[in-house]
């Protein structure tokens, strides 16, 4: 029983926050920071997860286009620049947010289909919570395009918080 008490004393919450270029994801991060537990016995690890699209190879893609190595290199550099930009924005949100909670930030970049990468990362990390922004797509667009947040909410084991941006609420 004492071991269980010690475990409860030093509880760590692992929260995955999916971030991208959108204002919605930054709003979800702000919401998350504002709602963290501030217990002295709880530390929070926020995993800022950005998902890059699958790599483009210098061969034919699905549409039959051939990309030269220069185009592929340029696209890769753009992807790296985008990751850095999003992570810098997310870290600025964190720095500008005054919270009493014990928070540790980790940056993680995945590659592939966002819904699969997010679900796999949450499972692999054994996250306690997944926080995502909602792009506020209407029924028709969500039906045609699909919703990453809807998919993740149905396929991960932990609680999922989908935060609507005030403009889309």
Question: Residue 145 pLDDT > 60, yes or no?
Answer: no
In contact, 115 and 152? CB cutoff 8 Å = yes
Predicted local confidence at residue 61, as pLDDT: 52
The domain limits of the chain are: 9-168
How far, in Å, are 15, 17, 82 from residue 47 at the CA level?
A: 6, 6, 18
Question: Residue 96 pLDDT > 90, yes or no?
Answer: no
3-state secondary structure labels for all residues of 57-80: CCCECCCCCECCHHHHHHHHHHHH
Predicted local confidence at residue 58, as pLDDT: 45
Query: CATH code for 9-168?
Result: 3.40.50.620
- Beta strand residue intervals within 9-157, DSSP E: 11-18, 42-52, 102-111, 129-134
The pTM is what? 0.78
More confident residue, 134 or 155: 155
Of the pLDDT bands very low, low, confident and very high (cuts 50, 70, 90), residue 143 is: low
Those residues whose C-beta lies under 8 Å from the C-beta of residue 72, and which sit 6 or more positions away, are: 55, 56, 57, 58
Counting every residue, how long is the chain? 169
């Amino acid at each position: 029983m004492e071991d269980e008490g010690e475990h409860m004393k030093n509880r760590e919450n692992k929260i995955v926050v999916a971030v991208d270029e959108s204002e919605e994801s930054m709003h979800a991060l702000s919401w998350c920071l504002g709602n963290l537990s501030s217990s002295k016995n709880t530390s929070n690890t926020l995993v800022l997860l950005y998902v890059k699209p699958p790599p483009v190879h210098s061969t034919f893609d699905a549409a039959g286009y051939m990309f030269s190595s220069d185009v592929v290199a340029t696209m890769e550099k753009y992807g790296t620049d985008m990751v850095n930009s999003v992570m810098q924005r997310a870290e600025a949100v964190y720095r500008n947010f005054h919270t009493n909670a014990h928070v540790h930030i980790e940056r993680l970049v995945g590659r592939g289909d966002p819904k699969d990468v997010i679900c796999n990362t949450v499972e692999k990390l054994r996250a306690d919570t997944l926080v995502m922004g909602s792009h506020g797509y209407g029924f028709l667009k969500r039906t045609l395009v699909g919703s990453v947040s809807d998919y993740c909410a149905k396929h991960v084991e932990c609680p999922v918080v989908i935060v609507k941006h005030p403009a889309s609420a």
